[in-house]
Amino acid sequence: MRRRILGGTGISVSEYCFGAMMLGAWGTTDHDEAVRIVHTALDAGINFVDTADMYSDGESEVIVGKALKGRRDDVVLASKVHFPMGPDANNGGNSRRWITRAVEDSLRRLDTDYLDVYQLHRFDHTTDLEESLSVLSDLVRAGKVRVIGSSVFAAERIVEAQWVAERRGHVRPRTEQPPYSIFNRSIETAVLPTAARYGLGVLTWSPLAGGWLSGRYEKAADVDLTTGRRTVQRHKFDPALPANARKLEVVAELRKLAAELGRSLTHLALAFVRAHPAVTSAIIGPRTHEQLTDLLAGVDLVLEDDVLDRIDEIVPPGTDLNPLDADYLPPSLADSALRRRR
């Protein structure tokens, strides 16, 4: 497993990061099996594990803590904070009040004294960014966190965070975690160049585009909208929508390309993400041991320029096949009142 340096921090991380979102109630409910999956990843050379407090309502962090018993010092461990962890409005967000409590909860569940990387899971429009960076800086200085970062920040927010940190004397974010796949390439326009400009380590998630690039879907009938995430994210999967119908066409084209290389579609998809020079580590989130084994088998694939050129012809750089795939919509677009003068 090849290693790369995380955002100029000197921390060496594997080019695959084990994403723990599917550990627990959202995926692998058997804790012993979940621990076995993590151990297989570590034994294969992955030294980077990413989770979040909200994954399975904290259960993912508990499982990761169990899996790292006796191996903690060999692993770069990342978690995230932002999403609600209870009914009270103050049990979430990026405020000093919440982050101070949330990090202690994560450390307890993970059974560790510190986090190598602690990330704001989303931008919080109700909290001044200086407030968030201030408390995160305090956590670094207290030794509870080594590196701070962000997830799904727009390019202008990445820049804002760098400037706020410099002007106010705070620790600056060193990582960004955006979604990236052959189907979702919009971050190539500004996010990835901005991250590179400021020397950020980039941990990309959803390289298989929510399962579209796993080879699971070949025709419309294969898309079951009655189970799993497809029930609440129909806009991403419903083949009746033209953008999703196009996904099926693209899958067929990519299958042919992968076959010419003698590799699977999943191997092609992961190799594409790893090929971008701004990407430090690609997060893989297997639910089963078999899925992990398949993903690990593709770590040696390096795509030549002619293959990347063909992918560019199928899905142009900087574009999303379905704009509705975006997991973040700023208030300026989500709230019509902000676009109408009263």
Q: How far apart are CA 203 and CA 282, in angstroms?
A: 6
Enzyme catalytic residues = 55
- Residue 276 in 3-state DSSP? coil
On whether the CB atoms of residues 43 and 81 are closer than 8 A, the answer is: no
Q: Which residues contact 252 (CB under 8 A, 6 or more apart)?
A: 218
Which CA distances in Å does 130 have to 100, 134, 164, 175, 219? 15, 6, 6, 17, 48
Q: Which residues contact 167 (CB under 8 A, 6 or more apart)?
A: none
In the chain the first and final C-alpha atoms are separated, in Å, by: 57
On whether the CB atoms of residues 148 and 119 are closer than 8 A, the answer is: yes
